């Protein structure tokens, strides 16, 4: 029997029971666990035909069944285990018995934790993240392009909405390219199964939390991918979606209880207004719609107030770190999640993996709105989110304004200065991820009207600013396009497919301008990689003068001066105003041009140009 989900104008909602064929024991999740975890408690989700009519038991030293929970749907049992610190790795049967019927048994395994120095090591401001959509980067294994039995079986590279065939093996094949470029971390949009009937390539509608999408590879291949990245000193960020799940997933199609997802009398979208979460004068109805409304008709909104949902999600995320050794989490649609649950989630994850880094997606409209979600801001929330950092959209918008805007009291380069000046709102702004584009927005090169000078200036500011810089695949070869109306920001990386006319992973496949861009990014990324002052050094900025913005990144070993001329004409820069940081330095090295500067007090800076100068004594 099965809790039926009715598809109507209201969306997918639980309406009753219908007869269905189902294995007697369909899922046990997590399928295995580890000894020596900080939290001795583990809740197993067991799914099978009327499994609740059976009695569950096990016998294994230092492991006991604390409780067995029957819920609304008889196809589920939730088994609470307590695994003591003295428990040893090994296998044992979990028995499911019913009088008059054949016993069922599941062989459960507790594994030994096997960590290395690179296990869950964290992604920090020492790194540069490279964001990849696996379906659009490279097809390393054409045999998995179409998987029989899955709902979407069309491969069409001519359509932005169908799958194109990119996979984990394709990314593995180009790790050398990324290493040479200067990338130190890779963030993949979700690689777990999205068995939806259309546009499932993006990964944000999960249908199986414990399984890599077979069109990308397998769980074992994902583990291999992480290991190969670590061998090359590249870290891995895993993208998580707490807020919603794909409506075709087995656990949504046959939910444990009606309250597994948020239910409405008729289909209700989120109002997408993050301010409703923090508004001291706000209406409860607005806050409820923001948090409990669905993101999309194909994305069921998870009820994070349900303790079974909480355990299921938290354990799944811990499982992936312990299984594969990923170094960080990016949390999708962070403001739409339940605040107290996310705080509890973060504490439990950090208890197991103290060095793991976490940043939340906050595409909101002010520094205050961003900072509200970060840890340490307890005065207005009455709680600590324990969220170390966020995706800093305000830095992105400010760099665009500096590049494209007109000079004004709060406009042009002054916007960037003012945004950085508000870093006092964060416990530590250096934990924020800073970026200029991603898979949900127009590409940077298009946003600067394909002006190569502005492209270089923006990238120079991004890679010298405080925080953790993030690039989007293809930025380094000037991939372009706008997010509307056709989503062409998700085109394939040329050369990632056999038969591509040009292979832009190679210099021979790139045109002159693309090679110039690649060489520029290669120089800048590798300089940053080898310059701790640009990673963990202090930041001092000056109020812009005559349309020129000047800031310094420095530590005890090195001082780097960054100057951006926001004017439309060449402008003289007077260094006498900056002696607080330039005192004792007589010359410099122009990082981007590779030339020596004998006079750092008087410079002529071309229009819309950024200079990066390593000061010399």
Give the pair of three-digit tokens for residue 35: 């000894």
- The three-state secondary structure class of 234 is coil
Cis omega (within 30 of 0) for bond into 612: no
Six token digits for residue 172: 């593995």
Q: What pLDDT, on a 0 to 100 scale, did the predictor assign at position 485?
A: 79
pLDDT of residue 428: 98
pLDDT of residue 20: 54
**CA angle (443 as vertex; 442, 445 as ends), nearest 5:** 130
R_g (Cα) of the chain, nearest Å:
26
pLDDT tens digits, one per residue of 541-586: 999 999 999 999 999 999 999 999 999 999 999 999 999 999 999 9
CA distance 108 to 489: 44
Helix (H) or strand (E) holding 157: none
In this prediction, residue 18 has a pLDDT band, given cuts at 50, 70 and 90, of: very low
Residue 23 has pLDDT above 90, yes or no: no
Is residue 516 among the annotated active site residues? no
Please state which CATH number belongs to domain 535-616: 2.60.40.1180
Q: Is the pLDDT of residue 5 over 60?
A: no
CA distances from 320 to 33, 220, 393, 438, 583 (A): 11, 12, 28, 24, 50
Digit-coded pLDDT (tens) for 133-184: 999 999 999 999 999 999 999 999 999 999 999 999 999 999 999 999 999 9
pLDDT in tens, 451-499: 999 999 999 999 999 999 999 999 999 999 999 878 899 999 999 999 9
Q: Which of 191, 301, 361, 514 is catalytic?
A: 361
Give the model confidence (pLDDT) of 69-108 as tens digits.
999 999 999 999 999 999 999 999 999 999 999 999 999 9
Distance between CA atoms of residues 453 and 450, nearest Å: 9
Q: How many CB atoms lie within 10 A of CB 440?
A: 15
CATH code reported for the domain at 2-111: 2.60.40.10
Least confident of 13-22, 220-229, 557-566: 13-22
What pLDDT, in 10s, does the model give residues 369-407? 999 999 998 877 889 999 999 999 999 999 999 999 999
Measured between alpha carbons, how far is 151 from 149 in angstroms, rounded to an integer? 7
101 catalytic residue (yes or no): no
129-241+327-530 belongs to CATH 3.60.10.10: no
Mean pLDDT calculated for residue range 408-412: 95
Token pair 């600067």 in the structure block, residue:
448
pLDDT of 298 above 70 = yes
Beta bridge partners of 294: 269
Residue range 496-526, pLDDT digits in tens = 999 999 999 999 999 999 999 999 999 999 9
Q: What is the mean pLDDT of the chain?
A: 95
3-state secondary structure of 179: helix
pLDDT tens-digit readout, 308-361:
999 999 999 999 999 999 999 999 999 999 999 999 999 999 999 999 999 999
Domain ranges (residues) in the chain? 2-111, 129-241+327-530, 535-616
Structural contact between residues 253 and 182, judged by C-beta atoms closer than 8 angstroms:
no
pLDDT at residue number 22:
81
Give the percent of the chain with pLDDT over 90.
93
CA angle 135, 170, 506 (to 5 degrees): 110
pLDDT in tens, 176-194: 999 999 999 999 999 999 9
The DSSP symbol for 328 reads E
Supply 481's token pair.
């396009």
Same fold, 2-111 and 535-616: yes
Looking at 332, 401, 423, 514, which residue is catalytic? 332
Q: CA–CA separation, 81 vs 422, rounded Å?
A: 47
């Amino acid at each position: 029997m099965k809790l039926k989900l009715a598809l109507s104008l209201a969306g997918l909602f639980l309406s009753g029971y219908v007869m269905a064929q189902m294995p007697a024991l369909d899922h046990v999740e997590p399928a295995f666990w580890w000894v020596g975890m900080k939290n001795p408690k583990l809740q197993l989700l067991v799914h099978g035909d009327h499994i609740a009519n059976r009695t569950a038991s096990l016998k294994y030293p230092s492991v006991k069944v604390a409780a067995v929970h029957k819920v609304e749907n008889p196809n589920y049992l939730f088994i609470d285990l307590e695994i003591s610190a003295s428990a040893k790795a090994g296998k044992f049967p979990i028995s499911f018995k019913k009088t008059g019927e054949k016993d069922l048994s599941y062989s459960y395994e507790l594994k030994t934790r096997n960590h290395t120095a690179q296990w869950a090591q964290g992604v920090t401001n020492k790194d540069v993240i490279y964001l990849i959509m696996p379906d659009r980067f490279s097809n390393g294994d054409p045999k998995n392009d179409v998987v029989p039995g899955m709902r979407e079986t069309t491969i069409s590279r001519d359509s932005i909405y169908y799958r194109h065939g990119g996979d984990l093996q394709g990314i593995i094949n180009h790790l050398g390219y990324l290493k040479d470029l200067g990338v130190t971390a890779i963030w993949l949009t979700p690689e777990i199964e999205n068995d939806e009937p259309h546009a499932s390539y993006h990964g944000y509608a999960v249908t199986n939390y414990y399984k890599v999408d077979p069109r990308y590879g397998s769980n074992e291949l994902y583990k291999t991918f992480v290991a190969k990245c670590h061998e090359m000193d590249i870290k891995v960020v895993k993208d998580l979606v707490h807020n919603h799940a794909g409506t075709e997933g087995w656990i949504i199609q046959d939910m444990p209880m009606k309250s597994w997802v948020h239910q409405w009398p008729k289909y209700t979208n989120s109002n997408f207004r993050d301010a409703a979460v923090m508004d001291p004068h706000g209406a409860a109805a607005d806050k409820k719609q923001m948090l409990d409304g669905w993101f999309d008709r194909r994305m069921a909104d998870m009820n994070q107030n349900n303790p079974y949902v909480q355990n299921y999600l938290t354990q799944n995320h811990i499982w992936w770190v312990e299984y594969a050794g990923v170094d960080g989490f990016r949390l999708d649609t962070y403001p739409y999640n339940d605040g107290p649950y996310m705080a509890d989630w973060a504490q439990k994850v950090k208890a197991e993996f103290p060095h793991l880094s976490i940043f939340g997606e906050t595409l909101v409209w002010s520094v205050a709105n961003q900072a509200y979600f970060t840890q340490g801001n307890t005065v207005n929330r009455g709680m600590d989110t324990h969220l170390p950092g966020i995706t800093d959209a305000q830095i992105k918008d400010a760099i665009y304004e500096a590049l494209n805007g007109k000079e004004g009291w709060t406009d042009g380069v002054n916007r960037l200065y003012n945004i950085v000046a508000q870093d006092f709102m964060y416990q530590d702004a250096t934990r924020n991820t800073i970026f200029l584009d991603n898979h949900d927005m127009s590409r940077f090169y298009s946003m600067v009207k394909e002006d190569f000078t502005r492209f270089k200036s923006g990238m120079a500011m991004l890679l010298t600013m405080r925080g953790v810089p993030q690039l989007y695949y293809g930025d380094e070869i000037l991939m372009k396009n706008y997010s509307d109306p056709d989503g062409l920001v998700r085109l394939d990386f040329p050369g990632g497919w056999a038969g591509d006319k040009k292979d832009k992973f190679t210099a021979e496949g790139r045109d002159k301008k693309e090679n110039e861009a690649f060489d520029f990014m290669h120089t800048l990324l590798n300089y940053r990689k080898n310059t701790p002052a640009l990673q963990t050094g202090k930041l001092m900025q000056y109020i812009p003068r005559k349309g020129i913005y000047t800031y310094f990144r420095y530590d005890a070993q090195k001082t780097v001066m960054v100057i951006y001329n926001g004017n439309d004409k060449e402008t003289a820069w007077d260094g006498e105003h900056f002696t607080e940081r330039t005192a004792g330095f007589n010359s410099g090295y122009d990082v981007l041009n590779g030339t020596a500067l004998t006079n750092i007090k008087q410079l002529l800076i071309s229009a819309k140009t950024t200079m990066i100068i390593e000061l010399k004594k």
